[in-house]
Amino acid sequence: MKRRLLLVSNSTLHGGGYLDHCQQQIALFFGKDVRRVLFVPYALHDRDSYTRTARDKFRTLGYEVDSIHEASDPVDAVRKAEGIFIGGGNTFRLLKSLYDHKVVTEIRRRVLEDGVPYMGSSAGTNVATVSISTTNDMPIVFPPSFSAIGLVPFNINPHFLDTDPNSRHMGETREQRISQYHEEADTPCVLGLREGSMLLVEGDKATLLGTTDARLFTRGKQTLEFNPGSDLSFLLSDSQ
């Protein structure tokens, strides 16, 4: 499998600017072979402003950005893309727009068959997985399916938050919500990516990068913690 993925938990880390915390990984990921990146701003309402933000940042890294929402034919834009970046925002709106513009299958094909590098942040990371069932977002719109692009055989919970023992909040913790997800049959494992962490996938190899640990939730098993640099390639097996 030719897939190359950079799945980032968050676009902005506290104390820094847009994509500042992962800019070195972005430059290494897209490398010198990619000159233009196709940006997908569907997760936010103001796509023009979002595109300007992404375009300005990527130019500082040496890349030009074409936005899919500016293309007359979104499917053709995906077919011609040298690299793809799907930004964060509302995951339900993002996935609905991907289906509405009929690009889900083409993105999957370009990434898995052609080896086009795919970067996602937050919602863009959610849609790279099996489904968006473990997103943190509200269903402000309804996509035709919760099934996502399916570039990896597991789910991710970006912006994962640990339980605060001193909190007086009485709602479910993030861990409890993921546990509820696993009460349903045939649900894949969930990788909780804390802010500051990201997953690099190259073929059948997966490595945790960034500055924070990640937590893995598997149905019927004890949760596990992984440090940056950990080899998580076992997650890419359908039998995990």
Is the Cβ–Cβ distance between 34 and 82 less than 8 Å?
yes
100 is catalytic: no
145 is catalytic: no
Is the Cβ–Cβ distance between 38 and 77 less than 8 Å?
yes
The structure tokens listed for 194 are 């804390």
CA distance 22 to 209: 9
Write down the residue that tokens 């997650």 correspond to: 235
Q: Which of 122, 131, 133, 197 is catalytic?
A: 122
137 is catalytic: yes
Q: Which of 67, 137, 197, 213 is catalytic?
A: 137
Q: Which of 20, 69, 100, 159 is catalytic?
A: 159
Helix axes 23-30, 47-60, angle to 10 degrees: 80
Is the Cβ–Cβ distance between 128 and 152 less than 8 Å?
yes
Query: Which residue, among 171, 153, 200, 167, has the nearest Cα to 9 in the 3D structure?
Result: 200
State the amino acid at position 87 in one-letter form.
Answer: G
The catalytic residues are 122, 137, 159
